[in-house]
Amino acid sequence: MKKLINNPNDVVRESLQGMAIAHPDLIKVNLDPHFIYRADAPIKNKVAIISGGGSGHEPMHGGFVGMGMLDAACPGEIFTSPTPDQMLEAAKVVNSGAGVLNIVKNYSGDVMNFEMATELALSENIRVLNILIDDDVAVKDSLFTQGRRGVGTTVLAEKICGAAAEAGYDLKQIADLCRKVNLNGRSMGMALTSCTTPAKGSPTFELDNDEIEFGIGIHGEPGRERMAMTSVDEIVEMLAINIIEDVGYSRIVREWDEVKGEWQEVELIDLPFEHGDRLLAFVNSMGGTPISELYIVYRKLAEICEQKGLKIMRNLIGHYITSLEMQGCSITLLKLDDELIKFWDAPVKTAALRWGI
């Protein structure tokens, strides 16, 4: 294994220390338990937004902490869920009294630990709501999930909800907005190569020189199918059609009911993409795929959307939710309305996303 690291056990801590030194105007880093938070937190009267998950997906989530996006991010070890004490301590630091929204990617460990952290925070009189992101159409249940996995839509939800929090939305409104983003966003990814975690030191999985993993998970977990390598145009066609035609997915999720003071099971159903819809198209590198190839992906994706009568109004193209050095890409499509466009366009100032300021 060759990586720009010292001891594999120190990777997450040293990377966080580097971030803290690089961006003192934006963020502070707490170690033990690990969390990154806005340098100016808590922001008076503003709902705080927290996300987190295993490390190895950078810049998500730590690179998204700052004005107009996250108040805090809780990084676990690489590809490992963060623990409830990280989320609880982060909530204590960033909560201004207006409450905390946790944006949780649907992986069993993340879900369990964010629920536990929610109960701990509630017991300390911090208002908390959790919203799940489960947008990956590749597999319905997987190695680390019940139901679909949470991937690219998370980045978009963090941007949009962060802007809504700046605009003065209250906790319930932001939770509703986040749920809406999830029900309107769908993703799928593929891998050309595996990645290697520092702890294991060898590739997470093996792919032959003429094979791809279609529907890959962001931890290298199996996708839908191992298939023969083909052209990017065919790959994009398969990803896009799977995303666009995945209609009406229904799941039961647990959300905290503030009135009843207990977890409720709620049925949520995806909304379709239909002719004439406005979209945000997000083309993401899994890490090792260069940006030049992402634009070739985008070229074909735009053509397919046009053929389907889907209007791409906004896009995001780059390295945003990665799997270490894995080569491959993911596509996320998010159906937009005026509210989502307004919050997408709002100013943001983080290490990884910055505009308008």
Residue 320: its H or E element: none
- Nearest residue (CB) to its own copies, 139 versus 331: 331
CB of 278 vs its own copies, minimal distance in Å: 16
57 a catalytic residue:
yes
Tokens of 261: 């003071």
219 a catalytic residue:
yes
CB of 46 vs its own copies, minimal distance in Å: 22
CB of 292 vs its own copies, minimal distance in Å: 4
DSSP state of 351: S
Q: Under rule CB under 8 A, which residues in 203-262 are in contact with its own copies?
A: 209-210, 212, 229, 231-233, 235
Contact string (CB under 8 A) for its own copies, positions 305-334, x = contact = ----------x-x-x--x-xx-xxx-----
β-pairing verdict for 100-105 and 278-285: unpaired
Q: 34, 61, 219, 319: which is the annotated catalytic residue?
A: 219
Contact string (CB under 8 A) for its own copies, positions 13-52, x = contact = -xxxxxx-xx------------------------------
Q: Under rule CB under 8 A, which residues in 275-294 are in contact with its own copies?
A: 287-294
**Environment class of residue 154 by beta-carbon count within 10 Å: exposed (0-12), middle (13-18) or buried (19+)?**
buried
Q: 34, 57, 61, 319: which is the annotated catalytic residue?
A: 57
β-pairing verdict for 72-78 and 48-55: parallel
- In this structure, the chain runs to a length of 357
CB of 329 vs its own copies, minimal distance in Å: 6
The residue assigned the tokens 């996303």 is 353
Size of the site for its own copies (CB under 8 A): 60
For residue 272, how many C-alpha atoms fall within 13 Å in the half-sphere facing its CB? 7
Q: Pick the binder of its own copies from 182, 184, 193, 330 (CB under 8 A).
A: 193
DSSP-assigned letters across all residues of 32-98: TTTEEEETTPSPTTPPEEEEEEEESSTTTTGGGBSBTSBSEEEEEEETSPPPHHHHHHHHHHH--SS
Peptide bond into 42 cis (omega under 30): yes
Binding site residues, its own copies, CB under 8 A: 2-6, 11-12, 14-19, 21-22, 55-56, 58-59, 63, 192-193, 209-210, 212, 229, 231-233, 235, 287-299, 302, 315, 317, 319, 322, 324-325, 327-329, 349, 351-352, 354-357
Catalytic sites, residue numbers: 57, 219
